[in-house]
Copies of this chain bind each other. A is one copy, B any other.
C-alpha cells in the first residue's frame, strides 16, 4: 500500500525509538494526526523546548537546563560521595529511590567491545580530578548488574585502587517482592553467599 511519504517517514522515525516497532508507531502517528492542531503541535512544542534548553552538565554529564546541573550546583547534597552510573536513566532511578544524597558521575554507557565503547569515553581522569580537589571520600559504583556493567565496575575499581578513596558497589541479592522459585540461580546463590545476620 502507499501511505504518503510524510506519514511513512514519521512512522519510520517513531519505530526507531527504543521499545517501539512498526505497529506501535502506526498507532502513535495516527493518534497524533487525529487531532493534529493539539496533539501534534504540543509534542512539537515540547521537543523544540527540550532541544533549545537541555544541556549536558559539564561536571557529571547529567542533563539539565543549565550547563552545570542542579545536582552539581546545590549545597544541600553531600559532595564527599559520588555515585557512578552508566546513563542518566540510572541517575533518575537512584533519585527515585530517595536514598542517596550525594553527587553523580555519568559514564555515558558501560564498557563494551562490541558497541565500541572505550575506556577513554568514561571520563575517569575528570572524575579523579573531582575526587582529589573537591573533598570526595567515597565512590559508589552503581553500574548495572550486567556483564558490561560489572566489567566496567572492575575497570573503575582498578583505576581508583591506589588513591585514598572508599570504593563500594550496590548490594546484590533478592529484590523486594522477589519469589525464590522464580529467581535465577545466580542471584539466589549470591544471596546465600552474602547472607546477612539478623540484627
Interface residues of A (CB under 8 A from B): 1-7, 9-10, 13-14, 17-20, 24, 26-34, 36, 40-44, 46-51, 53-54, 63-65, 70, 87-89, 92, 95-96, 98
Contacts of A42 in B (CB 8 A): 13
Identical chains bound together, number = 2
Given contacts A1-B95, A2-B70, A92-B26, contact A51 B44 (CB under 8 A): yes
Q: Smallest Cβ distance from A83 to chain B, in angstroms?
A: 13
Q: Which of B19, B33, B54 contacts A54 (CB 8 A)?
A: B33
**Main SS at interface, chain A:** helix
Q: Smallest Cβ distance from A115 to chain B, in angstroms?
A: 13
Given contacts A26-B92, A30-B89, A65-B6, contact A47 B50 (CB under 8 A): no
Q: Is the CB of B10 within 8 A of A50?
A: yes
A12 nearest CB neighbor, chain B only? B46
Q: Which of B47, B64, B98 contacts A47 (CB 8 A)?
A: B47
A47 to B9 alpha-carbon distance, docked (Å): 9
A10 to B63 alpha-carbon distance, docked (Å): 13
A64 to B63 alpha-carbon distance, docked (Å): 38
